[in-house]
């Protein structure tokens, strides 16, 4: 790959996925992680603009996968391979189209009468609450971002951990990055972190939580979704976009004093994995292309709709030419100003 500045920077997690989709089919040891799906969401709309990937993996992470990412059009120069084994296994089982669980893999394989994979022995789900002082081995540091990446004009931070999200936006702002979007991590979207929320959203171009995460953060303080969104925007974030799964998205355009509700495109859902991450990548592509927040949400919406119709992050890249654009026109009809 030629030494050029990537179209945008994506900072997040690469994982080895062990997945049970709603149909009951299992996929074992496949390329996974929010970084992958978010990068694909961008690439769906901007196939000629390679997204730069920033992540940390161990020496046991399959090099053949990294090579494949590059062949698919992703810029892998920001993937740091540590000189040690790093456990990046991720288990997820969908017990319905909308319900996912990440723990007790033995019971889910037994429920479906599937042989339990030896590779999942000893698996532990991630901690539910992030540390405020201790970096994880997969936390991203300033030195993990190649200098050339900092010449990019846009960046998205996928869910990683509190320390990554509290440290890196300032570095990005000091460089050439003018558009910064962030999808928060579940490890700090809880009431114990509420007073730290201003430090995370101030100065962002867009904050992109799920509705479940946002409601948990404001637990005991508010139950009104728009009130929560306005409270965060007031800290100095222009756009708040709440991902609502099959309910679509809610958009608060704080500078324009506008609120929108956008329905989800009615996809033939096969595998919901990575839908929210693909949305974020599509959103960033749309925003950088149009600087219209509503258009950006629509781009993200359609990226998610393509990803969920098959399994694997790269499924959506094989969509029929023109399909994304056709869906974009169809979904516009359902947008509602609040």
Query: Where do the structural domains in the chain lie, given as residue ranges?
Result: 8-337
pLDDT at 218 over 90: yes
Sign of CA dihedral 9, 15, 17, 22: negative
What are the φ/ψ torsions at residue 66 (nearest 5 degrees)?
-60, -40
- The reported pTM is 0.96
Across the chain, what does the average pLDDT equal?
A: 95
Tell me what pLDDT residue 176 has. 83
**Tell me: the pLDDT tens digits for 109-130?**
999 999 999 999 999 888 889 9
* Contact of 327 with 265, CB cutoff 8 Å: yes
Q: Determine contact, residues 81/59, Cβ cutoff 8 Å.
A: yes
Task: Write down the architecture of domain 8-337 according to CATH.
Answer: 3-Layer(aba) Sandwich (3.40)
For the stretch 143-200, pLDDT in tens is 999 999 999 999 999 999 999 999 999 999 999 899 999 999 999 999 999 999 999 9
Report percent pLDDT > 90 for the chain. 93
The tokens of 196 are what?
């730290």
Average pLDDT value for residue range 214-228: 97
Is the pLDDT at 1 greater than 80? The verdict is: no
pLDDT tens digits, one per residue of 62-82: 999 999 999 999 999 999 999
pLDDT of 243 strictly over 80 = yes
Query: For the residues of 217-254, what is the DSSP string, one character each?
Result: HTTTT---HHHHHHHHHTTT-SEEEEE-GGG-EEEEET
Enumerate the H helices of the chain as residue ranges: 34-45, 63-71, 105-111, 162-174, 197-201, 211-217, 225-233, 275-290, 293-307, 323-332
- Of the pLDDT bands very low, low, confident and very high (cuts 50, 70, 90), residue 3 is low
Residue with tokens 């997945």: 19
């Amino acid at each position: 790959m030629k030494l050029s500045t990537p179209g945008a920077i994506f900072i997040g997690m690469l994982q080895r996925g062990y997945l049970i989709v709603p149909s009951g089919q299992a996929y074992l040891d496949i390329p996974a992680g929010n970084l992958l799906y978010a990068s694909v969401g961008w690439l769906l709309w901007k196939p000629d603009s390679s997204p730069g990937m920033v992540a940390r993996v161990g020496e046991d992470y399959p090099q053949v996968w990294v090579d494949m990412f590059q062949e698919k059009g992703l810029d892998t120069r920001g993937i740091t391979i540590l000189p040690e084994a790093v456990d990046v296994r991720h288990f997820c089982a969908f017990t319905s189209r909308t319900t996912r669980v990440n723990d007790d893999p033995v019971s889910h394989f037994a429920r479906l009468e599937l042989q339990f994979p030896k590779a999942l022995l000893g698996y532990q789900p991630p901690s539910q609450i992030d540390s405020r002082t201790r970096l994880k081995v997969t936390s991203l540091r300033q030195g993990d971002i190649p200098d050339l990446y900092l010449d990019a004009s846009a960046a998205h931070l996928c869910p990683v951990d509190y320390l990554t999200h509290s440290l890196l936006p300032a570095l990005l702002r000091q460089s050439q990055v003018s558009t910064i979007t962030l999808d928060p991590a579940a490890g700090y979207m809880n009431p114990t972190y509420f007073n730290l929320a201003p430090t995370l959203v101030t100065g962002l171009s867009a904050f992109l939580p799920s509705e479940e995460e946002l409601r948990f953060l404001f637990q005991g303080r508010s139950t009104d979704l728009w009130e929560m969104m306005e409270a965060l925007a007031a800290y100095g974030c222009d756009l708040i976009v709440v991902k609502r799964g099959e309910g679509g998205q809610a958009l608060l355009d704080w500078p324009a004093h506008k609120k929108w509700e956008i329905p989800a495109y009615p996809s033939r859902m096969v595998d919901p994995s990575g839908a929210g991450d693909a949305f974020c990548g599509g959103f960033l592509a749309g925003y950088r292309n149009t600087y219209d927040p509503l258009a950006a949400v629509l781009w993200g919406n359609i990226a998610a709709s393509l990803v969920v119709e098959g399994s694997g992050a790269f499924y959506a890249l094989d969509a029929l030419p023109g399909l994304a654009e056709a869906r974009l026109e169809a979904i516009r009809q359902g947008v509602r100003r609040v």
